[in-house]
Every structure is written in C-alpha cells, then in structure tokens.
A and B are shown apart, each in its own frame.
Chain A
Amino acid sequence: MEILLNSLAATATVTTPILLAAMGGLINRQGGIVNIGLEAKMLAGAFVAVLVAWQTGNLWLGVIAAVAAGALVGLAFSLVVTRLGANEIIAGLGLNVLMIGLIGYLLPVVFDVRGTLRPPGLPRLPKLELPLIHDIPVLGPIVSGKDPLTYLSWLSVPLVAWFLYRTVWGLRLRASGTDLEAARAAGLNALGWRDASTVIAGAFAGLAGAQLSIGIVALFAVGMTAGRGFIALAAFYFGSARPWPTAGAALLFGFFTAAQARVQGLGVPVQLVQVIPYLAVVVVLTLIAVRRSRRRGQEAWAAT
C-alpha cells in the first residue's frame, strides 16, 4: 500500500516529460507527420537547458533555450521532410541517432566530461507547494510540491484541446494534416502548417527535456531520455491523437514508470511492466484495423 502511495506521489513528476512530448507529438500527428524523433528533441532540450542555465545562472533562461532548441531542431527536421521529400520515419530514426552522437561528441570535446554534465551548484527548478491542497492527506503529496513545469504540463492539455478545436490555427493545421491538396484548394499554405506542427512538437519536446534535466536532477546525462520519446509516441497513438485520451495514456504510462522502480522488491518483473505501453499500442492499432476492415466489408486485396 505504501508502495502504491509512493508511486502515486512520484507519478506526476515522472509523467511530465511524457505528457509534454505526447502533446507535441499529437499536434504533429494532427498536422500530418508522425514524429519518431521526439527523443532527439527531448535530449537536445535537456542538454541545452543545463548548458544555458549553467552559463547564464538563470534556470528560466535555460527552459526558454530548451524550448527554442527543440523548436529549431523540429524546424530543420520538418523542412527535410516536407521540402526535401525525406521519409519521415527513417529521418526521425536517423535524427535520434544523430542527436545522441552529436551531444555525446560535444560533451568530451567541448566540455571535457564524459557521459554526464553536472555543473557544480546548478539548482533545480523550485518545488511549488499549492496552498490548502498541500495539507490534504493522501492527495497532498500526489498533487502538490511539484516543479512548475509539471503544473504547466497539466495546463497544456486543455490548452492544446482549445488550440486544436477552437482556434483558426488549429483548424487550418488539422486540415493541412489530413488532406494536403484539399487544404491548398481552400487557399491554405498547407506545407507551412505541417512545418508549424513539427516546430510546435519540437518545442514541447524541448520543454520536456528541460524538465528532465533541470527539473528533476540538475544534470545532463546522455541516456537520460531513456525511451520516453517513444513512450510519448505510444501515448498519442494509444490516444488516437486526441488531447484528453492521450493525456490519460501518458498518465497511465507515467504511473507505470514511477511504479516499476518501486515494485521491484515485490518480485514483479520490472522489465515486463515497462513493455506494457508498447504492447498496448500494437493491440489498439490491431483492434482499430480489424473494426475498420469489418465495416468495409469486402477485402479483395487481402484475399488470396
């Protein structure tokens, strides 16, 4: 029971990077691009956050720089896909490898460290204690006392929902993502909107990375994203690229991630628990496809 409560208390913080990246990823998906390269942008954000916070002595500048870095990487990636016609899946995978290599290269060559950048005396983002809520038993530790980016991530969900479904920009982005030609015929700069969706995804991923590095541990380590970019991908696939279901999936996966370290003692195989999000995506996609093919009736191609 205590393990459960501990896990729940940690869930919010652990969920944050997943949630942020997933929000970005879903906007990108609605904009017509599957962003496999979220890991890379998260990593870049984490790195830049630590770097800038260290050099300027200002944590918030670090956060802003992380967002900018993610957005920039996103823009470069997007142009390669939309203007140079690169296949987005492979380019995304390549970007992940490239970023790991680039940062891994820069650390020893420029900063004279290997694997981890731990600027001395670098503070973490402050923990905010929500008045009143903080003192509620059980709920208090779960909800209060988290870093500002976590609270920001919670706000992002209704914000993204509002953006996508209630604003002009959101409509145009969704239209461009679904049908490039029809969007053009309606007078939109469809490719531009696709690029915009990727830039936004990059910004979110950069923010996620910042939370990981200066929000939690005040250092940068090359392996710190640990597949969270892919879990975020799983989350928005699971949530069919809709904000609230995706947030739910991100929360669920975040809970698993938080719990796994704590249930080890109980003999529950940690690695199998980690596998659940990915398996869930495969199952969901299969169910959707089966239902869709039933509705379509005849399947001449599939039949031998």
Chain B
Amino acid sequence: MSVHAGRAGAGTMLDARGAAASIGWALAPFLVALLAGALVLVVTGRDAVATYQLLAEQAFGGGTAIANTLAQATPVLFTGLATAFAFRAGVFNVGVEGALYLGAFGAAWVGFSFIGLPSPLLIGSALLLAALVGAAWSFIPGFLRARWQVDEVVTTLMLNFVAIGFTSYLVNGPFLAVGTANSMSPLVAPAARLASLAPPSQFSIGFLLALAVAAAFWFVFSRTTLGYELNLVGSSPRFAATAGISLLRVVVLAMIVSGLIAGLAGAVQVLGVNGRFIDHFSPGFGFTGIAVALLGRNTAVGCVLAALFFGALSNGSAMMQLFSDIPLDLVNVLSGLVMILAVVNFAGLRPRRFAPLPAVAEADEALRDRGGPA
C-alpha cells in the first residue's frame, strides 16, 4: 500500500519540523508568562520594557551579577533535576521541598558536630549524609506507590509539611543555637563551608556540583540500561511490564535518586550560602524545581537552561528591588504562570512526559479491570 511509502518519506520531514515545533512549544510558557507579567506591570502603571531591561541588567550585567545569577540558579537546578528524574519515570513527585529540608539539616548537623575534621572529609560526609537522608525520605512515598498504589502526589505533598515541621522542631528545640533570637542551628565549622569562588557573590562550588549532577542525569538517561528502564516505565509502563521490567523496582529507585538529589540541594544551601540551618529557609526551591523540570521538559539541558532563567529572575529582581520600587514578588507571578502554562495543552498536543500521573495510573486501572467483570 502506498501509505507505507508516504509515511516513510514524511518521517524525515516531520522530524525537522517536529524539532522546531518542539522548541517552540517549550518556549511558549516562558514567553506567555513574560507577556502576562508585562501586562501586570502596565496595568499598575509601571514601564514594562524598562522593568524587564533593568531585570536583565541586574541579572547579567557584569561578572558579579552573573556569578550571583548562577548562585541563585544552583538550588533550583538541583531541585529541578530531582523532580525531573522522578517525572521521567512516570512518578509524580512533588515532595522535593521536604527532602531538601531534611538534607539541609543533615548537612548542617555534620557541619556543626564534627568540627575537628579536615575540610574535604567534613564537606564530603555532610553531602553524603544529606543525600542519604533525602533518599531515605523519598523512598517512603515511592514504596507506598509501588507496593500499594498509594497516590504519590498527595503523599509527597503532605510529607513536605511533615519534613518542614520536623526540622523546624529540631532547630527550635534540641539544636537551637545558643544565644540567638532567631530559629537557627549553630554555625557549621568554617572547614565545612563552600567558599565563594567569585566574591562578593555567593557563587560557590555548589553550582559546579549541580552541573555535575546534570551531566550525570544526562548520562544515566542516554547511556545506561537503568536510564532505558526509567524511560520505558515512564512512557509505556504496560509495555515495560510485558518486557519483564519490574515496575516496583524502577519506581522506588526513581524516588530514591530524586530524594538524593534534593538532599544535596539542601546541603549546598546550608554549606554554601547560609552557613547554618535556618528555620523555613527555603522560599519554595522545591516547588520552583517543578517549574524548572516542566519548562526543561525533564531533560538535563532543559533543566540547566530553565534553572538559569529562574536564577536570573531571582537575582535580577532582588537587585532590581534596590533600584526601583518593583517588589520581587514579580518573580513569583512569573514563576506561577510558567508552572500553569507549562501544563496547559497547547493546541491539543500533550506530550506524555508532562503528566506522568495518567500513564502509570492507567496501567493500574487496566490491571484492576482485568480482575473483574464489566
């Protein structure tokens, strides 16, 4: 049938156009958000163009500005990768914020408890503990999902608050720094600090660590058998099961790694920026991470670019606040819009990866249907 020949030819053409279309759709939420933000500015009597210009200047104008942008991008790059890792496997993990807090506390604890250790060892063990704690925390909802199909969205969401509350208790109680009015832990040892590589900015080795994680992320998904399994489970869980892949194993593993990266995010904030664990220190890094993952389409390169975007927004607006009366809440406006727009079904095309929940849930439903009559 001539249909075959037609399809074959169309295939190559579709790819080039498809790629361009893909990038177009990827940028759409970002552009629409900027437009909407501009609208808000204009309606409240501010100069949108000038504002954005100022924002860009503050974010990228000069070495220190760029360094600070990268520093601000660091935590959300981590959380973005953490979230994307789970999303790729079809697991809807919105609990990165909680794992971040626990990892942060773990790193702080190592930092202020083992003061005598030499720097590389101290930093290394702080990071290690943070990763382990984060991984263990995320294992719980992962296991509940894999074993009993407990809805991971609700559990991870709730567990965020549990983690935040728990660390809050710790830092206000047993680990409260003596002699301070605010709820903070003792300072970590100087040997545990991640020094700034470009003072006076806060750009530290943490950003490079995040890049390394991004590289590892890319490597796993494109060059390993584990990545193959994760991809397959995320996009066709029934096929994966038929091919003999253990869904339980993959789902749990995805959550563990997700939590691990989130833990590192927290550790880097503590060791590189705050120098101690501060109650409620995160302005929603975990949730911004979701936006990063979505905007970046769950890919390593995408997450890096999206994280830079958010880092620029964050840094630019903080600085912008000093030179104008535009509050930095504008960032939240843009951030929230991006999140919403990123999951809108533009023109009827919904890439599966954006909505991991249905795929695996449908597979479960299909199984349950098999066991009973109509």
| Contact between chain A and chain B defined by CB under 8 Å | yes
Q: Taking beta carbons and an 8 Å cutoff, which residues of A are in contact with B?
A: 34, 36, 80, 84-87, 89-91, 93-110, 114, 227, 230, 234, 237, 269-272, 274-275, 278-279, 281-282, 285-286, 289-290, 293, 296-304
Q: Of B141, B161, B249, B342, which is in contact with the most chain A CB atoms at under 10 Å from its CB? A: B161
Confirm or deny: B261 has a beta carbon within 8 angstroms of a beta carbon on chain A.
Answer: no
A87 interface neighbour in B45, B334, B355, Cβ under 8 Å:
B355
Query: Does B223 sit within 8 A of A, measured CB to CB?
Result: no
B169 CB, nearest partner CB in chain A, Å: 4
Task: Tell me the nearest residue of chain B to A231, going by C-beta.
Answer: B161
Q: Which residue in A89, A108, A304 is a CB contact (below 8 Å) of B92? A: A89
B345 contacts A289, CB within 8 Å?
Answer: no
B157 on interface, CB distance cutoff 8 Å: yes
Report the bound CA distance from A103 to B368 in whole Å: 45
User: Judging by beta carbons under 8 Å apart, are B144 and A80 in contact?
Assistant: no
B contact residues around A87 at 8 Å (CB): 343, 354-355, 357
B353-374 contacts to A, CB under 8 A, are 354-355, 357, 363-364, 367-368, 371
A36-B157, A271-B172, A289-B144 known; A95-B246 Cβ under 8 A = no
B149 touches A289 (CB 8 A): yes
B241 and chain A: residue at smallest CB distance? A301
**A-side contacts of B213, CB under 8 Å:** none
CA distance A34 to B94 in the complex (A): 14
Q: Which of A90, A274, A278 contacts B343 (CB under 8 A)?
A: A90
Q: Which of B158, B327, B367 contacts A300 (CB 8 A)?
A: B367
Residues of B contacting A86 in the complex (Cβ-Cβ under 8 angstroms): 340, 343-345
CB–CB B44/A109 < 8 A: yes
A105 to B330, CA, bound (A): 6
Bound complex: CA of A106 vs CA of B332, how far in Å? 12
B367 touches A94 (CB 8 A): no
The answer to whether B40 and A105 touch across the interface, beta carbons within 8 angstroms, is: yes
Beta-carbon contacts under 8 Å, B315-331 to A = 325-327, 329-331
- Decide if B217 is an interface residue (CB 8 Å cutoff): no
Classify chain B: how many residues form its interface, as a range: 35 or more
Contacts of B327 in A (CB 8 A): 104-105, 107-109, 114
Does B146 lie within 8 Å of A97, measured CB to CB? no
CB-CB < 8 A to A34: which residues of B? 153-154
Q: Is B247 an interface residue (CB 8 A)?
A: yes
- Is the pair A269, B329 in contact by a Cβ cutoff of 8 Å? no
A282 touches B340 (CB 8 A): no
Q: Which of B56-64, B68-76, B286-294 contacts A (4 or more CB under 8 A)?
A: B286-294
Give A80 to B32 CA distance when docked, in angstroms: 15
Q: Pull 12 A–B residue pairs with CB atoms less than 8 Å apart, ordered by A.
A: A85-B345, A91-B339, A93-B287, A94-B343, A104-B332, A105-B333, A108-B325, A272-B166, A282-B154, A282-B159, A302-B247, A303-B248
Which B residue sits closest to A109, measured CB to CB?
B44
Instruction: Determine the distance from Cα of A256 to Cα of B338 in the docked complex, in whole angstroms.
Output: 36
Contact A97 B332 (CB under 8 A): yes
Given A100-B329, A109-B326, is A304 in contact with B246 using a C-beta cutoff of 8 Å?
Answer: yes
Give min CB distance, A19 to chain B, whole Å.
Answer: 19
Q: B357 contacts which of A89, A97, A270, A274 (Cβ < 8 Å)?
A: A89
Check B329 against A105 for contact (C-beta < 8 Å).
Answer: yes
Partner of B340, one of A91, A114, A237, A303: A91
SS of B interface (majority) = helix
Do A286 and B343 touch (CB < 8 A)?
no
Interchain CA distance A239-B327 in the complex, whole Å: 40
Residues of A within 8 Å of B166, CB to CB, are 271-272, 275
Q: How far in angstroms is the closest Cβ of chain A from B166?
A: 6
Query: Which residue of chain B has its CB nearest to the CB of A297?
Result: B371
Which chain B residues lie closer than 8 Å to A275 at the CB level?
161-162, 165-166
Tell me which residues from 163 to 187 in chain B have a Cβ below 8 Å from any Cβ of chain A.
165-166, 168-169, 172-173
User: B229 on the interface (CB 8 Å rule)?
Assistant: no
Knowing A89-B92, A108-B325 touch, does A98 contact B157 (C-beta < 8 A)?
no
Of A36, A93, A227, A271, chain B has the most CB atoms within 10 Å of the CB of A271
Is B161 within 8 A of A99, CB to CB?
no
Most buried by B among A91, A98, A108, A227: A98
Partner of B330, one of A101, A227, A302: A101
Chain A residues lying within 8 Å of B148, measured Cβ to Cβ, are: 286, 289-290, 293, 302
> Closest Cβ of chain A: how far from B344's Cβ, in Å?
5
Q: Which residues of A contact B220 (CB under 8 A)?
A: none
* Cβ contact within 8 Å between B172 and A109: no
Q: Enumerate chain B residues within 8 angstroms of A290, measured Cβ to Cβ.
A: 148
Pick the residue among A84, A102, A278 that contacts B333 (CB under 8 A).
A102
* A274, B165: Cβ atoms closer than 8 Å: yes
In this complex, what residue of A is CB-closest to B173?
A269
CB atoms of A304 and B248 under 8 A apart:
yes
Nearest-CB residue, chain A, relative to B183: A271
Docked pose: A304 CA to B249 CA in angstroms: 8
Check if B248 sits within 8 Å of A94, measured CB to CB. no
Chain A residues whose C-beta falls within 8 Å of the C-beta of B20 in the assembled complex: none
Q: A278-B158, A282-B159, A300-B367 are in contact. Are A101 and B241 (CB under 8 A)?
A: no
Complex: A272 Cα to B171 Cα, angstroms: 12
The answer to whether the Cβ of B335 comes within 8 Å of any Cβ in the partner chain is yes
- Contact check, B329 vs A104: say whether CB atoms are below 8 A apart: yes
A227/B340 in contact, CB under 8 A: no
Q: Is B197 an interface residue (CB 8 A)?
A: no
Q: How far is the CB of A64 from chain B (nearest CB, A)?
A: 24
A89 to B246, CA, bound (A): 27
Residues in A whose Cβ lies below 8 Å from that of B155: 282, 285-286
How close is B236's CB to chain A, nearest CB, in angstroms? 13
Sample of 12 more A-B contacts, CB < 8 Å, known A91-B343, A102-B333 = A84-B344, A86-B343, A87-B343, A89-B153, A89-B357, A99-B336, A101-B331, A102-B332, A106-B44, A108-B327, A289-B148, A301-B241
> Which residues of B lie under 8 Å from residue A99 when comparing CB positions?
336
Choose one: A227, A237, A302, A303; the contact of B154 (CB below 8 Å): A237
Q: How far is the CA of A97 from the CA of B284 in the complex (A)?
A: 9
